């Protein structure tokens, strides 16, 4: 039975501030202190002191929660600026300074809220996750923020836009400084995007290898252009190069099929006039490797358009009825021993799925014939000649599916990856063109025409990249060219060797001039015996630049020549799956100082303009209608900033869930959204 308690009048001796939170009562003959917050009873005898009472207040959750809530209410009622300090409002005024400090640290009462920082965090969140600018006007978001942080003042979408533009400006300056300090040259990737309003947008992306030989990319611009005005497009690209101050360190530009040769020649002529390109732009013009495969595949599929439509309708018909499907499975079990890989219906916007459909249909052609006997309304069958055409096409498509799978399976493909596969395609085309089958040979000739147009532009670039692979060197060029060109192979091999040597000599000259330009003043012994600096006359230095180039071109400079020859004469590196070409050049850069500079630039060329997700898509790049509605300045800001902040998002993911992040095979984000036939920008950036 609990003894009745009797309140004790506060005596003059109870001077400790702790009694503001306790009520001292007498229960029987015992003095008890009852916490005013959680009602817990503690000893309050004259000999027990107050230390245990103070310790309880530190741990009392109800007291801490109540005080923090009161402070928030006080702050809300006394907002004067954008920065608030919850620790400035002190409870327990009777506590000593030491007690108050300890109490605040334990109760986390020294929290700060920065409105300006929170606004920028919100804008960064919208950029990173592609949320609409109008999210700040959604009722659900308003309620969430109000309950989470009542001190945060929500703004309009127009203010969010200005915050996003501010972040874009700050990040652009950082990217500018990064590009200014990279050790090598920059390769660009130029893509043209369409829109629902038939507008065209130029996306310009910089690719390079950083100081640690790691592949990097930065989207530099996303601007509206008119591809029909070729002079205007060329001028826009040249102006963007100058704005970013990378026209002097440009290595190459990889164009998609939206750019005509006239546009490319205009840009190259502008840059070569100012002597900004190495070796008169030998590596400047690059065409997208995956795009040429798409063009060839489109030629192949067009040749059997009607047959493909029939097969697609047959599969749809069989799948439309459970009875017909069951009968098909029974016949397939008898004829081919099962229904595995059968009845594969393609997605027409993904050309590799069309190959899988045709390939599986060939296996089931006898099943289709038997099924016709049990269904009078069966879809029309293919003739034997049509099935033969489908078989030829499947044999062609198989190669391109395999090659494209290799390209799309690498997150950051280096330029050396493409030469062997394109040589295989070249060899196959030679054989297909000589086929006795009229359909097969005529189709191969059309494919060959498209491939040769690409090879004439990019063959040398791909060959040089392969030579810079220590597993291949010139041996791979000799191996393939002898098979492709037969008796004329030696002439083509000499052209590649000459191009490799000329480019290397150009790098050697640039390295010499760079070393000279950045040299320290010469120190000479003065007449009085003291060291004096002899300044270099700028005019004299400029006059000798031509002499340096003449010396490198006319003198048998063993140091320069021997570096390339030494690399080529050494045995090739053993081929194995663990080989990393960038790591190899990073380690061997001191051994090949000039050749490694060249390798850094060549291997960093983006031979493909498509992402791995869209490698098999038959559609083009199209802006989502919501994105098209955005103003040009905010559209560019959101797309570029999303790309630039991607590394920050990856770092945050790693900090919050490092184990999950480490298991992921690809942490890159696609600022252009998902691919649905055409590559679409995300619909969630409507202002």
Q: What is the pLDDT of residues 559-595, one digit of tens each?
A: 445 689 999 999 999 987 789 999 999 999 999 999 9
List of residues 6+ apart from 366 with CB closer than 8 A: 335, 336
Strand duo 678-680 + 621-622: pairing: parallel
Judge whether 565 lies within some domain.
yes
Report how far residue 642's alpha carbon sits from residue 660's, in angstroms, rounded to the nearest whole number.
22
pLDDT, tens digit (0-9, with 9 covering 90-100), for 233-255 = 899 999 999 999 999 899 999 99
Judge whether 629 lies within some domain.
yes
pLDDT for 601 beyond 80: yes
My answer on whether 299 and 342 are in the same domain is: yes
DSSP 641-667: HHHHTHHHHHHHHHHH-HHHHHH-S--
Judge whether 649 lies within some domain.
yes
pLDDT for 166 beyond 90: yes
Mean pLDDT of 86-112: 45
My answer on whether 565 and 429 are in the same domain is: yes
Q: Per the confidence metrics, is the pTM higher than 0.75?
A: no
Report how far residue 115's alpha carbon sits from residue 123's, in angstroms, rounded to the nearest whole number.
12
Model pLDDT, residue 193: 87
**Radius of gyration over alpha carbons of the chain, in Å?**
36
**Range of lowest pLDDT (160-169, 374-383, 395-404, 518-527):** 518-527
DSSP 282-315: TTTEEE-HHHHHHHHHHHHHHHTHHHHHHHHHHH
Closest CA to 283 of 451, 491, 502: 502
Given the structure tokens 């054989």, which residue do they identify? 431
Which of 83-87, 338-342, 453-457: highest mean pLDDT? 453-457
pLDDT for 608 beyond 80: yes
* 553-576 burial: b if 16+ Cβ within 10 Å, else e: eeeeeeebeebbeebbeeeeeeee
My answer on whether 81 and 186 are in the same domain is: no
My answer on whether 417 and 401 are in the same domain is: no
What DSSP character marks residue 194? B
User: pLDDT exceeding 70 applies to what percent of the chain?
Assistant: 76
Judge whether 313 lies within some domain.
yes
Which tokens go with 299? Answer: 């030629």
pLDDT, tens digit (0-9, with 9 covering 90-100), for 648-681 = 665 555 445 544 433 333 333 333 333 334 444 4
Report how far residue 557's alpha carbon sits from residue 465's, in angstroms, rounded to the nearest whole number.
24
Mean pLDDT of 474-487: 95
Residue 683: count other Cβ atoms within 10 Å of its Cβ. 14
pLDDT, tens digit (0-9, with 9 covering 90-100), for 460-480 = 999 999 999 999 999 999 999
> Which domain does 106 fall in, by range?
1-110
Model pLDDT, residue 305: 94
My answer on whether 575 and 615 are in the same domain is: no
Mean pLDDT of 322-328: 85
More confident residue, 621 or 24: 24
Report how far residue 559's alpha carbon sits from residue 505's, in angstroms, rounded to the nearest whole number.
11
Judge whether 667 lies within some domain.
yes
Domain closes at, from 110, 136, 158 = 110
More confident residue, 221 or 231: 221
Judge whether 452 lies within some domain.
yes
pLDDT for 339 beyond 70: no
My answer on whether 419 and 564 are in the same domain is: yes
My answer on whether 282 and 390 are in the same domain is: no
My answer on whether 561 and 485 are in the same domain is: yes
Q: pLDDT-derived band of residue 302, with 50, 70 and 90 as boundaries?
A: very high
pLDDT for 15 beyond 50: yes
List of residues 6+ apart from 249 with CB closer than 8 A: 182, 184, 185, 186
My answer on whether 282 and 318 are in the same domain is: no
My answer on whether 310 and 279 are in the same domain is: no
DSSP 520-531: PPEEEE-TTSSE
More confident residue, 41 or 558: 41
Mean pLDDT of 81-107: 45
My answer on whether 440 and 402 are in the same domain is: no
Model pLDDT, residue 420: 95
Report how far residue 287's alpha carbon sits from residue 20's, in angstroms, rounded to the nearest whole number.
79
Strand, coil or helix: 190? strand
More confident residue, 366 or 113: 366
Domain count, the chain: 4
DSSP 5-42: EEE-PPPTT--SGGGGSEEEEEETTEEEEEETTT--EE
Model pLDDT, residue 555: 62
My answer on whether 18 and 56 are in the same domain is: yes
Integer angstrom CA distances of residue 362 from 319, 336, 357, 458, 485: 17, 12, 9, 36, 35
């Amino acid at each position: 039975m609990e003894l009745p308690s009797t309140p004790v009048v506060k005596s003059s001796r109870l001077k400790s501030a702790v009694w503001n939170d306790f009520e001292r009562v007498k229960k029987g003959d015992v003095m008890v202190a009852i916490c005013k917050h959680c009602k817990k009873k503690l000893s309050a005898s004259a000999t027990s002191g107050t230390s245990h009472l103070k310790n309880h207040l530190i741990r009392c959750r109800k007291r801490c929660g109540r005080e923090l809530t009161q402070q928030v209410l006080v702050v809300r009622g006394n907002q004067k600026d954008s920065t608030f300090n919850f620790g400035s409002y002190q409870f327990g005024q009777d506590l000593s300074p030491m007690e108050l400090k300890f109490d605040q640290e334990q109760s986390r009462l020294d929290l700060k809220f920065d409105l300006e920082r929170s606004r920028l965090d919100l804008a960064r969140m919208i950029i990173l996750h592609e949320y609409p600018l109008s999210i700040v006007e959604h009722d659900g978001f308003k309620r969430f923020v109000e309950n989470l942080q009542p001190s945060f003042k929500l703004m309009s979408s127009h203010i969010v836009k200005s915050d996003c533009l501010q972040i874009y400006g700050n990040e652009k300056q950082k990217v500018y400084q990064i590009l200014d300090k990279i050790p090598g040259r920059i390769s660009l990737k130029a893509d043209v995007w369409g829109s629902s309003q038939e507008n065209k947008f130029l996306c310009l992306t910089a690719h390079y290898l950083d100081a640690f030989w790691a592949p990097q990319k930065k989207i530099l611009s996303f601007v509206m252009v008119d591809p029909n005005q070729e002079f205007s497009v060329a001028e826009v690209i040249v102006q963007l190069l100058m704005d970013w101050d990378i026209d002097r360190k440009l290595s190459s530009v990889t164009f998609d099929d939206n750019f005509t040769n006239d546009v490319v020649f205009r840009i190259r002529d502008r840059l070569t006039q100012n002597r900004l390109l190495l070796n008169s732009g030998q590596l400047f013009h690059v065409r997208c490797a995956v795009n040429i495969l798409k063009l060839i595949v489109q030629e192949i599929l067009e040749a059997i358009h009607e047959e493909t439509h029939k097969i697609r309708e047959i599969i749809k018909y069989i799948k439309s009825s459970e009875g017909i499907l069951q009968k098909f499975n029974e016949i397939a079990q008898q004829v081919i021993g099962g229904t595995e890989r059968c009845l594969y219906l393609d997605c027409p916007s993904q050309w590799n799925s069309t190959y899988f459909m045709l390939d599986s249909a060939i296996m089931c052609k006898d099943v289709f014939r038997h099924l016709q006997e049990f269904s009078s309304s069966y879809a029309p069958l293919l003739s034997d000649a049509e099935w033969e055409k489908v078989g030829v096409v499947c044999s062609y498509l198989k190669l391109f599916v395999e090659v494209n799978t290799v390209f799309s399976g690498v997150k950051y493909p280096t330029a050396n990856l493409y030469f062997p596969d394109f040589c295989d395609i070249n060899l196959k085309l030679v054989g297909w063109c000589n086929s006795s089958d009229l359909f097969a040979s005529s189709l191969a000739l059309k494919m060959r025409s498209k491939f040769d147009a690409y090879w004439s532009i990019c063959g040398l670039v791909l060959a040089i990249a392969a030579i810079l692979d220590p597993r291949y060197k010139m041996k791979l060029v000799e191996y393939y060219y002898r098979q492709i060109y037969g008796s004329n192979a030696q002439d083509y091999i000499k052209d590649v060797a000459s191009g490799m040597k000329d480019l290397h000599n150009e790098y050697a000259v640039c390295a010499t001039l760079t070393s000279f330009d950045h040299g320290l003043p010469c120190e000479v012994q003065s007449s009085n015996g003291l060291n004096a600096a002899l300044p270099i006359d700028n005019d004299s230095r400029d006059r000798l630049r031509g002499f340096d180039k003449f010396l490198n071109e006319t003198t048998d400079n063993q140091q320069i020549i021997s570096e390339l020859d030494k690399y080529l004469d050494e045995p090739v590196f053993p081929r194995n799956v663990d080989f990393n070409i960038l790591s190899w050049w990073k380690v061997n850069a001191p051994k090949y100082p000039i050749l490694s500079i060249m390798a850094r630039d060549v291997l960093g060329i983006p031979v493909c303009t498509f992402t791995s997700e869209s490698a098999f898509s038959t559609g083009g790049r199209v802006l989502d209608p919501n994105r098209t509605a955005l103003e040009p300045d905010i559209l560019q800001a959101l797309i570029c900033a999303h790309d630039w902040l991607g590394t920050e998002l990856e770092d945050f993911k790693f900090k919050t869930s490092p184990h999950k992040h480490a298991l992921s095979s690809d942490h890159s984000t696609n600022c252009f959204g998902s691919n649905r036939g055409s590559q679409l920008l995300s619909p969630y950036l409507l202002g």
